[in-house]
Structure 1
C-alpha cells in the first residue's frame, strides 16, 4: 500500500517539497515559470511562478534524483568510445590519473590546492578551445550573496576567480545568458550540480552546443550561505556584515590540510579582517555536516564521474605535508589529456602518474560516506515508507556496523538541527545560543567517532596507533608555534 502511494507522488512532492532538489538551476533554465530563490536557511529553492510549472514532464529528466539515466549511462555516452579509455567503479572512466601541482607562474600560490583547475582553463583559452568560463565568482557590491555563478571572458578574469568557494550557487541565469551568446564555454561545478547540467544538455541542444568542457570539483558536500555567515559571526562579524571570505588560506610550513580561513566584514561600521585556523572554527568539521544541503547525502557520485576532468585535493601522506598544496586529477577528455601531457613535457606542471587505488585513498572519507554508507541512509527511507531517489547502490541497513550507523544518525541530527538552531540564534541576536544548542550533539558525535576510530586503530596494531599519535602531536605543535 505504501509503495503504491509513493509511486503516485508528483514530481513536486517527491523532489521539491521533500528537500531532495539539487538546486542547480536546471529546472529554471528548462522552464521559464520556475525561478531560483534563496530561502530563510540560506539555500536556493526552485520556486514555481504558475501552478502547473512542476507538472512539466521534462523536469524529471534533468533532475539527478529522478532521471531515467544515471552517471554511468551519461559517462558511457561521453567517454566510452575514447581511444585507450579505462574504467574503474567509483572513479569512472579515465585516460590518466595524476597527482601534483602547477610549476608555471603563480597558479599554485593563488589557488586553494595545486592550481591545476585554473591552469588548464588558461591553456584552453590560449589554445582557442574556449571563449569563456562559467564558474563561481565574487559578487558585486549590493548583492545579498558573496559568490554566484558568472562568466569569465579572459585569462585575467579566470585568475581573479581561483580558489574554493564553500558556498551555494545555481546556474540558471548564467546558463540562460550562455544560450543567448556566441562562443564556447567551460563549466566548473561540484558533482550533482555538474550532473544536472549534463542532463540539461541532453534535452537542450543549445546548451549542449555551447558548453564544450566540464570541470568537476571533488567536494564533500554543498553548504548553505549560513556556513560562511556563521564563521564571521563567531569572530565578531554580525550576520549581514560579512563582505568577503577566503575559505582556504595556505599557511607556509604547515600541512596542506592545516589551512586557515580569512574573513573581512564590518564591525561597528569599521572594516575588519580576521584569520583563524580550522580548529578554532566551531562549524568547520566537515564530518559534522553543519549547514549541509540534503541532496549531498543522496549522491553516489564521489569523484564527479561525468566531468571531462575531475580535480580534488591530494589528501595523501606523500603530498599532504606540502603546504603549497597538490591536486589529484582524473582526466577523461582527449583535449585535456593532451594539455596535461604537453604541460609535463614543457615543465609547466609537476605531476606523478598514480594508481587507481591511490586516487581512491586520496578521498577515502568522502567515498566511505558517498558509497559505502549510503545503503544505510536510503534503507531508512525504505523502512519508513518514504520516497527517496534511486541510486547505484542497493539499500541495506546491515551494510555497515552498528557503531557506524550511530555515527550516520548523529550526522543527520547535526545537519538538520544546525540550520534551525542558527536561525533561532540570529533571531535572538546571540551567537552563544547556537553553540549552546549544538554542543551536546557535537560532543555526542565526537564520542561515537572516537570510539569508532579507536576500534579501527587497534585493529591495525599498537605500533600503527603510536605512529599516528606521534604525527598528530607533531602537527599540533607546529600549529601552536605558528599561532604563537
Structure 2
C-alpha cells in the first residue's frame, strides 16, 4: 500500500490500517456490517475483496471492528468440550451424506451441509439461509444470496473457490426481523460470533451458524488461470462450477456456445487455485470452523499408505458438531431422514485432511518469521499453536520459517 493511501486509511480506521499493513484481511465483510454507511467491499488486484472506507469510523465502530475482525485475532474457549489440539473443540464427529440423491450429487462432499440447510427451511426453523452462490455477471465470482427453499439450496450447492463477503449486507438482513441460518467460511463465523457479543439481534435472528473446512481463499486471478488452462476466458463463460456434480467433481466451465470444458479437482485446486490463496489464509489458525455450530468437510477415502484419494465416487461428508445446538440440529436432520450418518474414528482425520494438519503444525514458525520482521500478525488464544508446532519436525518448522521470511522480504505477501 502506498504511503499516502496508508496515511489516509489510518485517519479513517487505525484498526483496518493495521490489518492492511499486514495484509491480514480475509475479506469477510464484517467491518462493512459494523459500519454499512461508511464501508463497502470491492475487488482489488489481484482479485480479492477488501474494505473501502468513505469516512472516519466513530470510536464505537472502531472498537467493534477491532473486536470482530479475524485479521486482528481469534480467541477460543473449549467450554467443557473435547479440546482437540488440531481440530478444535467439538462434541462429536461422524461421516454421512444427504439422503436426497440430487443434493448428494450436486454438492461437493456428500451434501450433508446442504441437507441440513434444506431441513432447517422445510421444518420452518429459519426463514432464510444466508449463503454464497455464483454471480450472474461473472460466473467465476461469488455473491451473497438468500435461499428460501430446498431448490434454492440445491442451486447454490458446491464449493466456490473465490472471494466472498457474506457479512457485508448483514445489517440489512437483520433489519427485516426474519430468522436465518448463516453459512460461511471459518473466518466469517469468527467475525459473526464476535459481533453477537455486542449486537443482540444476531443470537435472536441467526440461531444456526454452519461452516466447512477451508484451505484458503484464492483470488479471481486464480479463477482466470483455471479458465486459461481450459483454453477459454471469462468473456466466453456462461456458468462455472468449481466442484460438485460428483465427488470430488470437476471444475467445469459452460461456454456461451453451450459446450463445456473441465478439469479434475486435483488439477484445478492442486495445480492452479491453491497457488493463488491470499496471505491471511496461509497464517490461519482456524481452517476447521471452530466457532460454528456444525461443520462439514470432505471425508476422503485413503489408500493403503493413508494418503487421500480423489477418484470420483459417491460423496461422503465429515460432520463435526461443535455446540449443543449443532448436535441437536444434526440429530433432528437424521430423524427427519434428511441425513444418513455413521460413526467416525477421529484418528483417521490427519490422513484424511493432511493439508489442514500440516498448515496448523507450521503456523507458529510462519508467524515467528513475520514477528521478527515487525509485521502485524493475528493474536490467537486457545488454539494451541505451541503444541501444534511441537508435532512438527525441526526441519519442517525451519523450512516454513525461512519460506515466510523470504516471501516477506521479497514483497510477496
1:56 is paired with a residue of what secondary structure? helix
Give CA deviations for 1:85-120 in whole Å, capped at 9, x if unaligned: 544333333332101222334221221111101111
* Structure with the higher fraction of residues in helix conformation: 1
In structure 2, do the counterparts of structure 1 residues 207 and 143 end up closer, same or farther at CA, with 3 Å as the change threshold? Answer: farther
In structure 2, do the counterparts of structure 1 residues 94 and 18 end up closer, same or farther at CA, with 3 Å as the change threshold? Answer: closer
| More contact order relative to length (CA 8 Å, sep ≥ 6) | 2
Indicate the residue corresponding to 1:194 in structure 2.
189
Unaligned segments of structure 1, at least 5 residues: 1-8, 421-484
In structure 2, do the counterparts of structure 1 residues 278 and 306 end up closer, same or farther at CA, with 3 Å as the change threshold? Answer: closer
Contact 1:187–1:213 (CA under 8 A) maintained in structure 2:
yes
In structure 2, do the counterparts of structure 1 residues 45 and 406 end up closer, same or farther at CA, with 3 Å as the change threshold? Answer: same
1:41 and 2:46 matched: yes
Contact 1:24–1:172 (CA under 8 A) maintained in structure 2:
yes
TM-score (norm 2): 0.83
Contact 1:179–1:210 (CA under 8 A) maintained in structure 2:
yes
What pairs with 1:203-222 in structure 2 (closer than 5 Å)?
203-222=198-217
1:24 pairs with 24, 28, 32, which one?
A: 28
Indicate the residue corresponding to 1:233 in structure 2.
228
Contact 1:62–1:199 (CA under 8 A) maintained in structure 2:
yes
CA distance in 1, matches of 2:410, 2:371: 23
In structure 2, do the counterparts of structure 1 residues 10 and 138 end up closer, same or farther at CA, with 3 Å as the change threshold? Answer: closer
Indicate the residue corresponding to 1:115 in structure 2.
111
1:277 and 2:261 matched: no
CA distance in 2, matches of 1:33, 1:123: 37
CA distance in 2, matches of 1:197, 1:408: 31
Indicate the residue corresponding to 1:183 in structure 2.
178
Give CA deviations for 1:388-443 in whole Å, capped at 9, x if unaligned: 122242499996433564367558978999999xxxxxxxxxxxxxxxxxxxxxxx
CA distance in 1, matches of 2:398, 2:94: 34
Runs (4+) of structure 1 exceeding 6 A deviation are: 395-398, 411-420
CA distance in 2, matches of 1:291, 1:351: 35
1:302 pairs with 284, 287, 292, which one?
A: 287
CA distance in 2, matches of 1:247, 1:415: 30
Contact 1:114–1:324 (CA under 8 A) maintained in structure 2:
yes
What pairs with 1:423-434 in structure 2 (closer than 5 Å)?
none
State the structure with more CA Rg: 1
Contact 2:28–2:168 (CA under 8 A) maintained in structure 1:
no
1:262 and 2:252 matched: yes
CA shift for structure 1 position 332: 2.9
CA distance in 2, matches of 1:284, 1:34: 34
1:12 and 2:20 matched: no
Contact 2:293–2:323 (CA under 8 A) maintained in structure 1:
yes
Unaligned segments of structure 2, at least 5 residues: 1-12
CA distance in 2, matches of 1:418, 1:384: 12
CA distance in 2, matches of 1:195, 1:406: 29
1:402 pairs with 374, 395, 406, which one?
A: 395
CA distance in 2, matches of 1:345, 1:30: 38
**How many residues matched?**
390
1:351 and 2:341 matched: yes
In structure 2, do the counterparts of structure 1 residues 349 and 62 end up closer, same or farther at CA, with 3 Å as the change threshold? Answer: closer
2:144 pairs with 146, 149, 160, which one?
A: 149
Contact 1:42–1:225 (CA under 8 A) maintained in structure 2:
yes
Indicate the residue corresponding to 2:89 in structure 1.
93
Indicate the residue corresponding to 2:275 in structure 1.
290
1:388 pairs with 377, 388, 391, which one?
A: 377
In structure 2, do the counterparts of structure 1 residues 334 and 101 end up closer, same or farther at CA, with 3 Å as the change threshold? Answer: same
CA distance in 2, matches of 1:10, 1:278: 40
Indicate the residue corresponding to 1:466 in structure 2.
none
1:374 pairs with 353, 358, 363, which one?
A: 363
Indicate the residue corresponding to 1:61 in structure 2.
67
Higher mean C-alpha displacement, 149-158 vs 360-369: 360-369
Contact 2:161–2:217 (CA under 8 A) maintained in structure 1:
yes
CA distance in 2, matches of 1:99, 1:406: 34
Contact 1:290–1:415 (CA under 8 A) maintained in structure 2:
no
CA distance in 2, matches of 1:412, 1:138: 36
